[in-house]
Amino acid sequence: MNSAKAVQKSPSLLTTNLVFIGRSLRHSLRNVESLLMAILLPIFLMLLFTYVFGGAIDTTGQYVTYVVPGIILLCAGFGSSSTAIDVATDMTNGIIDRFRTMPIRAVSVVTGHVVASVARNMLATCIVIGVALLLGFQPEAGLSDWLFALGLVVLFILTYTWLFAAIGLVTGSPAAAGGYGFVLLFLPYLSSAFVPTNTMPSWLQGFANHQPITPVIEALRALLIGGPIGNNGWIALLWCAGILLLSLIWCAVAFRMRAGRR
Amino acid sequence: MNQNAIEVKGLVKSFGKAAILKGVNLTVPSGTIFALLGPNGAGKTTLIHILSTLTKLDEGSVKVAGFDVESEQKEVKRSISLTGQFAAVDELLTGAENLRMMCRLSGLSTDDANSRTRELLRQFDLEDAADKRAKAYSGGMRRRLDLAISLVTHRPVLFLDEPTTGLDTISRRTLWEMILGLKQQGITVFLTTQYLEEADELADEIAVIHGGRIVASGTADELKSRVGGEVIELRNSQDELIGTYPTSGGLADVRQVLNSAAHAFHPDTKITIRKPSMDDVFLALTSTATKEASIS
Encode pLDDT of B112-125 as tens digits: 999 999 999 998 88
Residues of B in contact with A10 (CB under 8 A): 74, 78, 107
Of A3, A102, A261, the CB nearest to B112: A3
The residue in chain A having the minimum alpha-carbon distance to the alpha carbon of residue B122 is A2
Of B78, B112, B133, the CB nearest to A103: B78
- The answer to whether the CB atoms of B92 and A30 lie below 8 A apart is yes
Supply the pLDDT for residue B287. Answer: 65
- Residue B188 banded pLDDT, cuts 50, 70, 90: very high
Supply the pLDDT for residue B282. Answer: 67
Residues of A in contact with B80 (CB under 8 A): 101
Chain B interface, Cβ < 8 Å to A = 15, 49, 52-56, 74, 77-90, 92-93, 97, 101, 104-108, 112, 115-116, 119, 123, 133, 149, 151-155
Q: Which residues make Cβ contacts (< 8 Å) with residue A218, sequence separation at least 6? A: A192, A229, A230, A232, A236
Supply the pLDDT for residue B119. Answer: 93
Of B79, B107, B119, the CB nearest to A2: B119
- Residue B296 banded pLDDT, cuts 50, 70, 90: very low
Average pLDDT over every residue of B185-196: 90
Question: Mean of the per-residue pLDDT values for chain B?
Answer: 86
- The answer to whether the CB atoms of B88 and A9 lie below 8 A apart is no
Supply the pLDDT for residue B293. Answer: 47
Average pLDDT over every residue of B277-292: 62
Instruction: Given the cut 0.90, state whether the ipTM is greater than it.
Output: no
Of A3, A6, A27, the CB nearest to B119: A3
Q: In this predicted model, what pLDDT tens digit does every residue of B166-182 receive, in sequence order?
A: 888 888 898 899 899 98
Interface test with A, best of B106, B118, B143, B147 (most A CBs within 10 A): B106
- Assess whether pLDDT exceeds 60 at residue B291: no
Average pLDDT over every residue of B147-161: 90
Residues of A in contact with B109 (CB under 8 A): none
- The answer to whether the CB atoms of A26 and B92 lie below 8 A apart is yes
What is the CATH class of B4-89+137-224?
Answer: alpha beta
Provide the residue ranges of all domains of chain A, joining segments of one domain with +: 13-259
Interface test with A, best of B104, B160, B187 (most A CBs within 10 A): B104
The segments of chain A whose pLDDT lies below 50 read 1-7
Q: Which value, in Å, is the radius of gyration of the alpha carbons in chain A?
A: 20
- The answer to whether the CB atoms of A98 and B82 lie below 8 A apart is yes
Supply the pLDDT for residue B93. Answer: 95
- The answer to whether the CB atoms of B88 and A103 lie below 8 A apart is no
Q: Which residues make Cβ contacts (< 8 Å) with residue A236, sequence separation at least 6? A: A152, A212, A215, A216, A218, A219
Residues of B in contact with A5 (CB under 8 A): 108, 153-154
- The answer to whether the CB atoms of B92 and A9 lie below 8 A apart is no
Separation CA A262–CA B211 (nearest Å): 20
Q: Quickly count: other Cβ atoms within 10 Å of residue B182's Cβ.
A: 17
- Residue B286 banded pLDDT, cuts 50, 70, 90: low
Supply the pLDDT for residue A6. Answer: 42
- The answer to whether the CB atoms of A4 and B86 lie below 8 A apart is no
- Residue B279 banded pLDDT, cuts 50, 70, 90: low
